[in-house]
Structure 1
């Protein structure tokens, strides 16, 4: 028995692109996580594919939302964390000096990749408040989507089995229709596990459809 594929139609007025964590600490060889995610980013051509999605949605005048990940000094005083939360704190991932302070942000691991800045900093893209663990329960993404009349989400970004999958699960619970662009994501690969393989399995079980970038761009252009 094979799973059904409900399908996902990109349509103007109710469909948006949501990208999680398009930041240097994940996507640059100089980022603090490159040693564990670099293989997957390279294999999936994640950096190029995210740029293609940004470009296509901007050309189609579809709304774009970025759900970023930042840690401020007060976040490092949490009394308990999960395994990967502890790691992110230990390696100072996405660190910023404060929510109202951009000192040192430009070019840091918390910053966007340079090639994405024309799309994100164009005055149209909605950059939400940061999510703090993996999902959007702690930020303003759902509110911002609702206020713009969005009911369908093309989802991409980093990392595949953590923030992307957590966003997928919460958006589904919130009543959104979601398709994941699987090769515009990537995940940690370690001797004991492959985060990308885990994510792809769950995308197929949860999302309305799992697309590659070529197909996602084609549907955006045809909308």
Structure 2
């Protein structure tokens, strides 16, 4: 197991070049982040086991985590472990137990105490040589640790998140990663939570709006299989899915961009009365086999203005005005000036 020293950098990740947009998970730029795979969450007798037991067993989280970790290693994908650990100083000096409800809960239950069995990795999910173990996060966001520096050092653009718990550490970290410019994927059946409602809310509602895809471990494994590269372009007959994995429809036709319209997919929808949906090609975020994922959930597709082919003029209107043409950023006001910071 390596704990390499990260090289400081202020640069954030960037999305794949346009010509590579069909590649779902380039191994050299993909990292698997396993959050809190420790005994307090995953083992009988752990301080949080009675809370997490139902979803962990429902999703077979331990087996799925073990499977995806081993597959990632075999494929040359970086594996990072993001655990928690608390010391007396955290509570005496930093007063973490007063920060939030979740910090109070962990404090009262004596969870993740540094050096304890509860803070140790589950026996089936131990880091190995070549993996990276991060500094402990003291809140719900693993991005507050040395994670960004390691991702930058490794040249990562795609972050795949699994572990515990769905609506707290996984969601907070994924949200921060998305804001930093990373392509984010959640593995739905390798994640648990303190209750089924918390898990469902994260998986069904929040993750699809944060990530480019929410997929199962099997689907991720199929996407990274060591086989000849799959075609990157979308073709008629492909199944279109939302970022929530919901099936939207089948591609009837792929229309290339012209001077008048941007490129788009024609996807008929409706069981009795078919209505064509015109999905911009640049909404396609990933593919796995013949499934293509767009970067919004099925839940909101019906609210999108996609009842007509997308015109280049409309696309420009969606982008808004040029910065130099804006007198006041918020219409009637501009941001307050701060010393050393300029605002147009």
What range is the shorter-chain TM-score in?
A: 0.7 to 0.9
Task: Give the Cα separation in 2 of the matches to 1:63 and 1:125.
Answer: 7
**Gaps spanning 5+ residues in structure 1: where?**
1-5, 97-101
Preserved contact between residue 28 and residue 76 of structure 2 (Cα < 8 Å): no
Aligned counterpart, 1:204: 208
Give the number of the structure whose alpha-carbon radius of gyration is greater.
2
Match of 1:63 among 53, 74, 78: 78
Preserved contact between residue 8 and residue 178 of structure 1 (Cα < 8 Å): no
Query: Where in structure 1 do 4 or more consecutive aligned residues deviate above 6 Å?
Result: none
Q: Does 1:116 align with 2:125?
A: yes
Preserved contact between residue 34 and residue 161 of structure 2 (Cα < 8 Å): yes
Aligned counterpart, 1:50: 65
Q: 1:35 to 1:202 in 2, by over 3 A?
A: same
TM-score by length of 1: 0.86
Q: List aligned pairs for 1:149-164, cutoff 5 A.
A: 149-164=155-170
**Gaps spanning 5+ residues in structure 2: where?**
1-20, 228-344
Match of 1:95 among 90, 94, 113: 113
Q: Does 1:85 align with 2:103?
A: yes
Q: 1:7 to 1:112 in 2, by over 3 A?
A: farther
Preserved contact between residue 143 and residue 177 of structure 2 (Cα < 8 Å): no
1:86 is paired with a residue whose SS is: helix
Aligned counterpart, 2:88: 73
Q: 1:217 to 1:37 in 2, by over 3 A?
A: same
1:146 is paired with a residue whose SS is: helix
Task: Give the Cα separation in 2 of the matches to 1:183 and 1:210.
Answer: 10
Task: Give the Cα separation in 2 of the matches to 1:31 and 1:196.
Answer: 19
Deviation at 1:7, TM superposition (A): 8.2
Task: Give the Cα separation in 2 of the matches to 1:35 and 1:136.
Answer: 24
Which sits farther off after the overlay, 213-222 or 170-179? 213-222
Task: Give the Cα separation in 1 of the matches to 2:87 and 2:58.
Answer: 32
Higher helix share: 1
Aligned counterpart, 1:138: 144
Task: Give the Cα separation in 2 of the matches to 1:132 and 1:150.
Answer: 24
Preserved contact between residue 37 and residue 121 of structure 2 (Cα < 8 Å): yes
Preserved contact between residue 62 and residue 124 of structure 2 (Cα < 8 Å): no
Aligned counterpart, 2:198: 195
1:221 is paired with a residue whose SS is: coil
Q: Does 1:221 align with 2:230?
A: no
> Could you say which structure has the greater relative contact order, defined with CA pairs below 8 angstroms and 6 or more residues apart?
1
Count of matched residue positions in the alignment of Structure 1 and Structure 2? 203
Task: Give the Cα separation in 1 of the matches to 2:158 and 2:107.
Answer: 33
Which sits farther off after the overlay, 141-150 or 78-87? 78-87
Task: Give the Cα separation in 1 of the matches to 2:207 and 2:33.
Answer: 15
Deviation at 1:221, TM superposition (A): 2.1
